[in-house]
Amino acid sequence: KAGVTQTPRYLIKTRGQQVTLSCSPISGHRSVSWYQQTPGQGLQFLFEYFSETQRNKGNFPGRFSGRQFSNSRSEMNVSTLELGDSALYLCATGLAGGNTDTQYFGPGTRLTVL
Amino acid sequence: AQSVTQPDIHITVSEGASLELRCNYSYGATPYLFWYVQSPGQGLQLLLKYFSGDTLVQGIKGFEAEFKRSQSSFNLRKPSVHWSDAAEYFCAVGAGNFGNEKLTFGTGTRLTIIP
């Protein structure tokens, strides 16, 4: 079974631009969660989608948004990029997010904002 | 709110020596606990998980962890480390509205192995 796929793996953008990251889940997984990882803040939860609906949301500004498609693939978008948005963005997928569910992570997208 | 504490930022052990990484959690209900490992520039790989039942859980790569409710701990252990175990280790608790779709992580412990 193929793992979680994230594209692109690396991105370089400048301040003020916007960026879209993609996550393709493991076959059969319907829950997709996004995390931001930085040296200073560690791993922080952004949001989670299930059946094309956002079910959980972390404490990030509205510049960070996401969506999920009917095939469970998810995208996250960051508008008006700031230098502090430079991070490794990880997505994790699971079956449905129940108490016995397990999150499996992709390799991440490394975003650098100049 | 739930939280996870990994008190050791960096640990150095000799190859072949035993290892214990500490994790303490704060969570009001029954915790669902995970250990993940991350190699430089990579995503997170699941080592093991605890949902219920036997408090000693076995994982991949020879790792095990013990859940102690009285101490709110979920420490990771390995009897003999290999150079390939050098990585960063994260403890996490599942805390979403519907289960484990949202993970709260500790700050991680970086493991260095010396020959």
What's the mean pLDDT when you consider all of chain B?
A: 93
- DSSP of chain B, one letter per residue? --EEE---SEEEEETTS-EEE--EEE-SS---EEEEEE-TT--EEEEEEE-SS-SEEE-GGG-EEEEEGGGTEEEEEESS--GGG-EEEEEEEE--SSSSSSEEE---EEEEEE-
* Residue B71: CA count within 13 A, CB half-sphere: 10
Contacts of A105 in chain B (CB under 8 A): 36, 43-46
Predicted confidence at residue B24, as pLDDT, reads 97
Render pLDDT for A32-48 as a digit per residue (tens, 0 to 9): 999 999 999 999 999 99
Contacts of B105 in chain A (CB under 8 A): 42-43
Predicted confidence at residue B95, as pLDDT, reads 81
Render pLDDT for A60-102 as a digit per residue (tens, 0 to 9): 999 999 999 999 999 999 999 999 999 999 999 998 767 778 8
Is B101 within 8 Å of A103 when comparing Cβ atoms? Answer: yes
Question: How confident is the model over B30-35, as a mean pLDDT?
Answer: 90
Poorest-pLDDT segment among A9-18, B17-26, B79-88, B96-105: B96-105
Does the pLDDT at position B52 exceed 90? no
Predicted confidence at residue A51, as pLDDT, reads 92
CA angle B34, A64, B6 (to 5 degrees): 25
Question: How confident is the model over B46-73, as a mean pLDDT?
Answer: 94
Those of residues 79-98 in A touching chain B at CB distance below 8 A are 90, 92, 94, 96-98
Predicted confidence at residue A93, as pLDDT, reads 95
Nearest CA-CA partner of B108 in B84, B86, B92: B92
Poorest-pLDDT segment among A54-58, A73-77, B62-66, B108-112: A54-58
Does the pLDDT at position A1 exceed 80? no
CA angle B84, A33, B67 (to 5 degrees): 55
Does the pLDDT at position B113 exceed 90? yes
Predicted confidence at residue B53, as pLDDT, reads 85
Nearest CA in chain A to B105: A43
Question: How confident is the model over B35-42, as a mean pLDDT?
Answer: 92
Q: Does B70 touch chain A (CB under 8 A)?
A: no
Nearest CA in chain B to A55: B97
Is A98 within 8 Å of B44 when comparing Cβ atoms? Answer: no
Render pLDDT for A5-36 as a digit per residue (tens, 0 to 9): 999 999 999 999 999 999 999 999 999 999 99
